[in-house]
Each structure stands twice: as structure tokens, then as C-alpha cells.
Chain A
Amino acid sequence: MEFSELIRTGRAQAKLLRGPEAPPLRGTLCVTGHHLLLSPGPQATSDLWLLLLRRVDSIEKRVSGDSGTITLRCKDLRVLQLDIEGVEATLDIARSIEALSSLESVITSFPFFYRPKGLRLGDAWHFHPPERYYKRVARETNAWRLSEVNEDFSLCPSYPRAVIVPRAVDDDALARCARFRQGGRFPVLSYHHAPSGTVLLRSSQPLTGPQKRRCAEDEELLRAALAGARPGARGFILDTRSAQAAKQARVTGGGTEAKAAYPGWKRLHRPLERGWPLQESFVRLVEACGDLEQSMDRWLSQLEACHWLAHVKEALSTACLAAQGVGREGACVLVHGAEGTDSTLLVTSLAQLILDPSSRTMAGFQELVEREWIQAGHPFQLRCAHSAFSHARPKHEAPTFLLFLDCVWQLGRQFPLSLEFGEGLLLALFEHAYASPFGTFLCSSEKERCLCEVRTRTHSLWSGLNQPKEQRKLRNPLYVPSPLAIWPSVELQTLRLWQGLFLRWIRPPEPSEVAWEKVWQIVTDKKTEGCEPTVSASEPRL
């Protein structure tokens, strides 16, 4: 297919309005295969303005007289307005944008054409596979092994080639395990907590069905996990559905582990919202943030009604529970919901951030996202197809990954010195998960990425982010490494709306950006002076 078939018109004169703070931009508008360009003309001083078409979430056109207006609502929540000369041109451009921004094919997407200067194809793609994590686990314990049973993705299409499983369980048993779990997602190691020797596992729901089927190998696997931790260790199965929902799942062939079949394991239910209700909550929050004329009372009731902060609270407290089981109770924890690709990953990844200091570093966090979200088979292609503005009929969209980023932001706000990365990295991940020139968030599983040859034909986001010029935006200047777990407060009184994201395009960015720069300066000056910042723990005295 040629892009040129979809481009109705080459160019038009237009004026671009980029929100209340930025000055309007005038010039020649041009649609290309992947971008919308605005070239300000020879006499202007400003540079070319460029928008990735995939970033467009919804488009609205209006014509009056001999000119037209197109409103573009982007997936990163930005709203742009284009005033275009000529009715015909307006309609043509709108149609072209509509067609090009919703192309479904992966291999014609921009990452396959993006060739930035200074980056080499293939760089950073091998930074963070499970093999690398296994090296670390192997240093800490001998009870686990790296299995390549999923080499050809036949056992579980959404798992990577290699997974970490108990040493006592062989590949044949794993194969039978996989048949007992939805989508073949048998229990695998997510995190090994070295201080207590216990582990965090994740899987999908067991296919017990109405007959309450059992699977000896699955039971054996979980028993081996307990035995590998410590003789007599206990385990918790954290089901991210309500007890009611888990029971109902039996009708459709799913279900949950029977108590009698798994001695030593105790089941807990912590329902987390997923799917459409979560997406709706996101949509309503963005709607509320966009309404600039409302009164204080209306804003508060809208904020409450969208439930977003309630989801943040639930996600954080469930992650705390999992982390508590592993870190404080010395128990093994298995997390699963139904498919095990959404709220499960949310819980396991947050629990690691709470417990594991190395995941709070820049490299460690990138590894966490790669291992626990991308490799673990979170279906980014489906979940992030549309953002909050889309009018399209929703199918599989859900902002689970955004919820994760929001929770991380809350952690960073409560512990301003404990994360090596700053808000900038979280914002970048949000943007790139929804639309990106890099290949990292393409496709829904490792299997699909292999079919599309994503690794060899696109650039990795990590190599893009880890360039030296990006660092100042992404890093937290105040970071001080600490070996302790960070236990966040989940009380509503301490949770905040993530203004940096939800109000990013509504408020003027300067004051906080300048302040950020100033913090960098202060910290850098201090370092060059060689004086360590001193503790002043004294509370303001009376």
C-alpha cells in the first residue's frame, strides 16, 4: 500500500494554535506519510513544526465561509487547532489525517522508517531481556533456572522465549502447566527478594472450570516455589479479582486455585479495576481537566466521580500488600487476575519498586518496564491504540500502563530522593507507549515483535532516551541511593492528581521547568564545591 493514495492534498496555508500560552504559528501545512508539517516560510525565524500522525487521537473539522478549522486531540492529551484557508483543502487534509493516523498495520508504521542521526539499529535492544535478570537471580539463589521451553512461543504466545522457573520443575511439566493456565501463562518468577529469599510470581488464572479441574504439575510448581524459598515457607495467592468474579470465571472455564490442592498457599482477593471501566475513568478525568470554566465544587465532584485517584489508591495498596508479603512476612506471593497481562503486571512491577532499590535507578527502572511490561506481554498495541479523546468504538483500550506510571509518580512525590529518574521519564514513557518513533512499545507480545522483526528494523526507545542530551530532563537531581524499601502512604490525603500529565498542556510550563533547572544548578554547584549536603533533621522548634 502506498501512503500517497491516502494523501488527498499536498499542502495548504494554515495557522496553528497550540494552547492558550504558546503564540500561534503561521505557514504552509503539509501532510506526509507519517507526519503533519508546518513550515513557517522563509522569512520566519522559528523552525519547522512537526507532528507524528499516530499521535492524533481524534479529529474534528468545521468549515465556515472560505476557511476551515481542524481540531486535533492528541494521545498525549494535547489539543491543537489548525485554521486552514480553503474549504476543499480543509476537508482533504482532515480526511488524510484521519486515514493516516489510524493505520493498523505495524510494519508500515513510522518506527520502521525512523533513522535518527547518532543511533545505530540494534542498539539497546539487548539491554534488558529476562536472561539478564536471571544472571542476577542466579547469583542470589540456586533454586531457580532459566527455561527455554517457550523458545518458539508455542507454549505461551505472550511470554518471551526464556522464563525463570523453579529448578525442580522440568520442561515437560511446564508444558502441562501451561495447558492448565489461561493463554498458557504458567507461574514464572517475577522478582527474587534476596534479603528474605522469597519470591514474587505471576501467572494467569487456572483453568479449573465448573468441574474444578486440577493439575498436578501446576500444584508441584507452586510447591517447588515454596520449597525453594525456605523449608516451611508460606505463600499468598493474590487474586486481583473479587472472590465473586473469580467464582463466576469458572463458568467460562477459568477460576481460581482450590485451597485443598495447594497446601501452604492462602488466597487473597483484592479487586482492581481493568478494561473499559478504567478507560472510562481516564476519559472522564481528562474531560474534567479540560473544562476550564467550572466552579470549585463542580471540579471536586467531577474529580471524585471519575474515580481515577481511587484506582491509584487501590493499585498502590495492593502492591503494598504484595510487597509486604514478600518483604516483611517472608512469604512467597503469586499474583494473577484473569489473563495475567494487566493488573497482574501492575501489582508485580509496583511491588518491586517498593522493595528493590536497584529498580529505582534509571537503568533498573527501564529494565523493570522492559521485563515486567513489554516482555511480560502487556498488549500495548491493543491497550494503547487510543487515548482519552477517541470517539472510536473502544475495543481493548485500557490505561493500565498509565495507571502504573501515575503510581510511580506518587511514589516519587512521596519520596523525592529515592528515584533516580524524574517526572520527565514517566511523561516520555506515557507519550511513547501511545505513539512513538521508536519500536519498543510496538506489538502486543514478544512473539509478534519477532514476526515483525522489530528488533532489527526499528530503534529502541532506550537507546533514544539514554543519549546524554536527554539526561537532564529525565533524571532526578536529588537522587540519593538507599538500600531501604519505600513504603508509600496510600491514604487519600496524600495522593495527588498528577498535574504534570493531566494539566500538562493547560498550565504554562515555565515556572516549574525553570524551577527544575534551578534545582539541577544548585545540586551541580554543590557537587562541584565538594561539600556534601548536610542533614538538618531538626523540626521547626517552638
Chain B
Amino acid sequence: MEHIRTTKVEQVKLLDRFSTSNKSLTGTLYLTATHLLFIDSHQKETWILHHHIALVEKLALTTSGCPLVIQCKNFRIVHFIVPRERDCHDIYNSLLQLSKQAKYEDLYAFSYNPKQNDSERLQGWQLIDLAEEYKRMGVPNSNWQLSDANREYKICETYPRELYVPRIASKPIIVGSSKFRSKGRFPVLSYYHQNKEAAICRCSQPLSGFSARCLEDEHLLQAISKANPVNRYMYVMDTRPKLNAMANRAAGKGYENEDNYSNIRFQFVGIENIHVMRSSLQKLLEVNGTKGLSVSDFYSGLESSGWLRHIKAVMDAAIFLAKAIMVENASVLVHCSDGWDRTSQVCSLGSLLLDSYYRTIKGFMVLIEKDWISFGHKFSERCGHLDGDPKEVSPVFTQFLECVWHLTEQFPQDFEFNEAFLLQIHEHIHSCQFGNFLGNCQKEREELKLKEKTYSLWPFLLDDQKKYLNPLYSSKSPKFAVLEPNTVSFNFKKLSNVKIGKQMEFSPRNCYIQFILNHLPSKLPCVLRSKLCCL
């Protein structure tokens, strides 16, 4: 509270972003410990969570007052005009402080109280049980077993405690392999396809440099390919562009040498790194946020942002993976540099294409919990939860959600959830209201005692399930109904078109939905409405 100087300012104007004439609403602005709240003369409330604020700008003083522009991480942009400059300055300074916290303990999740007792809270955390999920996939079985090597986070700090590995891979092999992999992230099971008996595995890059080898690592890869009784060769997908992977060799890292590993087929898929993605989104938002652009400026801006190209690259990789399993019956090992960004994108999207369970509401939660949270996608750093290194921030998870959105567009009947569900998850990776996305890996989460001090998001989403149901969903599809979004030749075409149009809604999406709501003289549930805009 020490940051708040002014708690209430009256006669503040909120500019309407959608009207061409500069219309505005007049009302009162309140500053609380967690939210900025604007109530207009019709008693309509606009809430902005401090953690959602990406950027606050105080523009030059005008005759009507001092403009304050707030850009949010959920792509909302709010434009206030505060009559007195001193008030504006106070609020500006308070927001600067409040939107960037230095300690986890100051985040909203630690003070958020939905009025539940401890057992309800615990129950909420137990809703998603990954051991249960591996059982559903069909492991452990004769080829795969649970390894206790990382039970105390001794081998790899950023992996979960429970890891599944080939039954024939002994502990010394695992330990040896982990020493040969960046950050100790050795190859482990991500998804097991019961029908095909093929597996998706994930790891980080090998520390191969120009010539180093590691027999244990070679053994482990061989064990993975042997765990597949049908097909003896396996794919190793390096999701980086080849050039980046080569550059890593100079630093003693790199990629697998096909000559040293028997029965592997090595493949680059060329997804750019987090820094490229961050500046791509930045450019995209600039293009989207500018009103009255000419057609050619708009499209060349869209093109030069490269955002759609990156989305296509991620989708391409996931489709490659799904095909390797479905068509060739081969197991696949996926890695990038550290194996927590691009690897998570590709593994999770690939599983989503293969297994219809992940296309349900509960299944999608499980997928995020497994491939993103437990395998150590650095949510806190990527979303900038704390005041930290801005170079670590990157919209990797946002891209994943967008890819899923494209799939829901192409397959309107195959997903149990709708756009609002994806949007809501996107809200909460930044909101810091629930504990799920805090921290960068499981070990850190345990140290923060999140399960005792904060609540889990998933039960709240499940309670609100009705809002997130896709009315067109047909649950009849069998478990392994594979989505084939775009076989390379002509499919990307369609996809790209989906994107072009879609594009626009994604970025100012919340605003867009609200825009539709405001302008539709309609009576249908908004779920159906937003659905149909896309049909």
C-alpha cells in the first residue's frame, strides 16, 4: 500500500477506442492494492489488474487533461484522461511500482482469497493428477517405467520428480546422459501413443560441441527406439533453425551426430528463438494498434512482423511429429536448446493432434499441466511476472494458444472448448491470481509452497464450464481421431488465410469480443456468437 498516494480521482475520461469521433465516458478512477477500477456514469465497471499492465505511458498535457495510456499483457489498451496533472502523475508512479513486483510473495495469488477452506484448496490442486494421466496413456507398461532418478531433483532441477523412461535404460545410463545434455534435461517420455506403441520424448540439446560423444546418451536413445516394437528407427527433431544449432556447437553444445547414434533420423524444423518471437509480437501489436493504416502499410507490416510465419513454423513441426507417429509408426525425440520453449510447443501441439482427449476441457488442462508446467516452461520469466530481465520475456505460450485457436477454426466440431476458454487461460498466465503459472519449474513451486498459499486455476474454470463449451462439439469421435490440419502442399494456404483474418481478433481480442457484444443487437449466448464470427 505504500505505493498508493491517490486512491480516487473523479471526472476521469475513458476514451472509446472504437468510435471514430473521439467519444469518451466520464467516471471515477479508483486505485486499489490489486486493481485499477474505472466506474463510468452508467455504473459500468472496467477492472484492470496491476499484473496485467505491460506498459504505462503519460502523454503530453492537453487542454482537457493529462492522458494516461495503459497497455496490458492481454493486448488491451486503455486510454484515460485525468483532469489534473498531479493526480495523473501520482497514479502513473503508483502503477509503475505496482505493476512490477520484485518478490513472488507480493503477487496477487498470495493475497487472493476465494473463500475456500484448506481442504477445498487442496482438492482443487489435486484435480489434475499427472500420474493418472500417464496411466491413461498406458504407462508404465512392459517397455516404459517410472524412474526415481530425479525424485530429489538431483539430476535435473527443472524437470518434475516423476519421469518415465524406457524400461531397459538403467540409472547409470540416465545419469550419464543427463550430464551430456544442457541443464541436465535428458530424454524422457512426454506422450505415449497406445495404439501405435510409439512415443513422443523430449530433452535439451546435447553438449556435443564439434566432436564430443556420450555412450550413455547414445544408449538411452537406442533404448527409446527399442521401446517401440514396431519401428526400429526414431526421429530426432531439432526444432531450431540449422544455423542456430550450428552456432551452438562453438559453445560446446549443438546437435546429435547421426553417425554416432544408430537408427536415428535427424531433422531440423526451424522455429525461431524467444527473442525473435518477442520482437515479432511487438511489431504485430504496433501494426494492429495503428488506426487508419493504408492497405499496403498494413499488410507489409503484418508480413514484416513475421508472426504468421512463426505460427506456421510451429504448426508445421507439430504436423511433422504427428505424421511420424501416425504414418511411420516411429517414436520421436524433440529438443531445442534448453527444451522448455519450442519443445513444449511442438510436443503439446503434436499430442493435441493425435489424441482427442486433449481437445476436451479437462484434457486441455492436463496437457498444459504436463507439457508446460511440469516440464519447466519458465512461465514467470516468459510472462514477466516479476521485475526481471526483459530479454527473458517471450510470447511462447501465447503462440501455442494461437495455434490451438487455428485448429479450432479449421475443425469447428472437434474441440469441446471455445475461444473464450483459450482467452481465459491467456488472461491467467499473466494475472498471477492463481498459483499454477507462478515460478519457473516444479522445484521452485514447491519451495514457494504454492499449494498451501495459493489456489489452482483449473477448478474455477471447470466450475464455469458452461461458458467455455463449444456448442458445435461432437464427442463421438474415437480416442485416436487424428486431426490433419494441413498436409504440407495446399493446406498451409488455408491456414494462412485463417490467420490473416484471425490475426486481428487475436491481438485486440478482448476488445474485439467486447466490441461485438456492444454492437450486436442480439440475444444469443456470447459463446455461440463469438464462435460464429469465425465460421
Contact = CB atoms under 8 A, between A and B. Distances in A.
Interface in B505-535: 508, 510, 512-517, 519-529, 532-533, 535
Nearest to B530: A416
Interface in A408-438: 413-418
Given A300-B500, A413-B533, A511 B412 contact: yes
A506 B504 CA distance: 23
Contacts of A507: 493-494
B501 interface: yes
A417 B18 contact: no
A413 B531 CA distance: 11
Contact of A533 (B303, B423, B515, B524): B524
A522 B504 contact: no
Interface string A483-523: 01011010111111101000100110001101110110010
Contacts of A492: 293, 295, 298, 504
Contacts of B308: 296, 300
B196 interface: no
Contact of A304 (B296, B410, B523, B526): B296
A415 B533 CA distance: 8
B302 interface: yes
Interface residues of B, number: 67
B288 interface: yes
B112 to A, nearest CB: 10
A486 B522 CA distance: 12
A511 B495 CA distance: 14
Contacts of B492: 296
Given A20-B490, A511-B410, A511-B411, A418 B521 contact: yes
B361 to A, nearest CB: 15
Interface in B248-293: 288, 291-293
A301 B49 contact: no
Interface in B74-130: none
Contacts of A304: 295-296, 298-300, 303
A293 interface: yes
A542 B47 CA distance: 8
B471 to A, nearest CB: 6
Contact of B514 (A535, A536, A539): A539
B517 A539 contact: yes
B331 interface: no
B497 interface: yes
Nearest to B51: A542
Given A292-B493, A493-B504, A499-B498, A301 B303 contact: yes
A93 B362 CA distance: 58
Interface in B286-328: 288, 291-293, 295-296, 298-300, 302-303, 306, 308-309, 312
A228 B513 CA distance: 42
Interface in B432-476: 433, 467, 471-472, 474
A519 B471 CA distance: 8
Interface stretch (A37-45, A51-59, A236-244, A307-315): A307-315
Contacts of A518: 413, 471-472, 474
A416 B427 CA distance: 26
**For chain B, what secondary structure do more than half of its interface residues adopt (helix, strand, loop), or is it mixed?**
helix
- Most chain B Cβ neighbours within 10 Å, of A20, A497, A499, A542: A542
B496 interface: yes
Q: Which of B498, B500, B513 has the most CB of A within 10 A?
A: B500
Contact of B302 (A300, A313, A522, A542): A300
Nearest to A534: B525
A413 B424 CA distance: 23
B149 interface: no
A511 B413 contact: yes
Contacts of B302: 300
A286 interface: no
A503 B291 CA distance: 29
Nearest to A309: B295
A417 B493 contact: no
Contacts of B489: 292-293
B420 interface: yes
Interface in A287-342: 289, 291-297, 299-301, 303-304, 307, 309-310, 313
A259 B49 CA distance: 56
Contacts of A301: 299-300, 303
A480 interface: yes
Q: Which of A296, A418, A540, A541 gathers the greatest number of chain B CB atoms within 10 Å?
A: A296
Nearest to B305: A300
B431 interface: yes
Interface string A523-538: 0000000001111110
A289 B493 contact: yes
Contacts of A141: none
Nearest to A314: B295
A478 interface: yes
A55 B515 CA distance: 41
A108 interface: no
A304 B299 CA distance: 6
A142 interface: no
Contact of B490 (A418, A506, A511): A506
Interface string A474-486: 0000101010101
A478 B524 contact: yes
Contacts of A416: 520, 522, 529, 532-533
A315 to B, nearest CB: 13
Contacts of A491: 291-292
Contact of A535 (B288, B490, B523): B523
A493 B288 contact: yes
Contacts of B299: 300-301, 303-304
A494 B504 contact: yes
Given A503-B494, A519-B528, 4 more contacts: A296-B308, A416-B529, A494-B512, A515-B472
Interface of A: 20, 289, 291-297, 299-301, 303-304, 307, 309-310, 313, 413-418, 478, 480, 482, 484, 486-487, 489, 491-497, 499, 503, 506-507, 511-512, 514-516, 518-519, 522, 532-537, 539-542
21 contacts: A296-B303, A296-B312, A303-B299, A304-B296, A309-B295, A415-B519, A415-B520, A417-B522, A417-B523, A489-B18, A491-B291, A507-B493, A511-B412, A512-B412, A519-B532, A519-B535, A534-B525, A540-B427, A540-B467, A541-B47, A542-B431
Interface of B: 18, 35, 47, 49, 288, 291-293, 295-296, 298-300, 302-303, 306, 308-309, 312, 410-413, 420, 423-424, 427, 431, 433, 467, 471-472, 474, 489-490, 492-494, 496-498, 500-501, 503-504, 508, 510, 512-517, 519-529, 532-533, 535
